[in-house]
Amino acid sequence: MARLSVRTVMITGGVSGLGLAMASAFAETGAHLYVGGLITENKATDILAQLDEKGAASCHFDDADLRDATAARTMADKAADVMGRVDVLINNAGIQYVAPVDEFPSEKWQDIVDVNLSAPFHLISSLLPRMKQRNFGRIINIASAHGLVASAHKSAYVAAKHGLVGLTKTVALEVAQQNITCNAICPGFVLTDLVDQQVRAHADKTGLPYKEAGIAMVSEKHAAGQFLMPQQIADMALFLARDEARNITGSSFSLDGGWTAQ
């Protein structure tokens, strides 16, 4: 893929898993990066060095707690001030908790909604005036297959991700004539380090070899019977940030091995 025009890119949850894969992909295009995450200063220093080695024009880190609306809006302001502007906002940070609705702790519900839905709203709301002023912006919300369908015991996550898809459509309509796009990527199972640990735990529990345990896990949802790789999601984000994607907006892209086709 050809290099992007130099972009300033803000990625929440950009220091591990899918977020780090996207940060790395944009670093390779020579972008300026502002990544968020709840990690130690030493770990952040290591990650920024990795991104620098991959070609990022500059790298910055923020440990804002996105459960807090003021912290989220302050993060957006800092990113715009440090980089001069934010061309691409990727709302990737997310948390999960699993329990039946009648046993779901209210504080867990609130945390999940705050991080997975309210934080994207606050970040978008804070950055849109600047994007409008420059007549350019790319907003990419990392939703989930659970933004389109549901699974038992994931009420808060499913509700928040459905809300994020709705927010995506609304924002897209409001700024459609100002060269600002807003789209959602809805991944299925992506083989991150966290999912790898889940596969290993499933293998230990069932006695299956690692590969067979992974196939058994993913085949419950993915018709293709394969995990997605983080780079596949990163490639989609890169495409949506390009000028060629300027007429793609308000869309939710299912990268889920056929999960939501069933």
Domain ranges of the chain: 8-190+228-256, 191-227
Give the separation between CA 148 and CA 158, rounded to whole angstroms.
Answer: 8
pLDDT exceeds 70 at position 38 = yes
Q: How confident is the model at residue 178 (pLDDT cuts 50, 70, 90)?
A: very high
- Looking at domain 8-190+228-256, what is its CATH homologous superfamily? NAD(P)-binding Rossmann-like Domain (3.40.50.720)
Q: What share of the chain is helix, strand, coil (3-state, %, to 5)?
A: 50, 15, 35
pLDDT exceeds 70 at position 260 = yes
φ and ψ of 179, to 5 deg: 60, 30
Instruction: Provide the whole-model pTM.
Output: 0.96
Q: How confident is the model at residue 194 (pLDDT cuts 50, 70, 90)?
A: confident
Q: 3-class secondary structure for 85-152?
A: CCCEEEECCCCCCCECHHHCCHHHHHHHHHHHHHHHHHHHHHHHHHHHHHCCEEEEEECCHHHCCCCC
- Average pLDDT rounded to a whole number, residues 132-154: 98
Q: Which helix (H) or strand (E) holds 184?
A: strand 180-187
- Average pLDDT rounded to a whole number, residues 19-45: 98
Q: What is the dihedral of CA 94, 174, 186, 89, to 10 degrees?
A: -50
pLDDT at 2: 47
Q: Kindly state the greatest CA–CA separation across the chain.
A: 58
Give the separation between CA 11 and CA 7, rounded to whole angstroms.
Answer: 12
Strands laid side by side in the 252-255 sheet:
58-62, 32-36, 8-11, 88-91, 137-142, 180-187, 252-255
| Residues carrying an active site annotation | 157
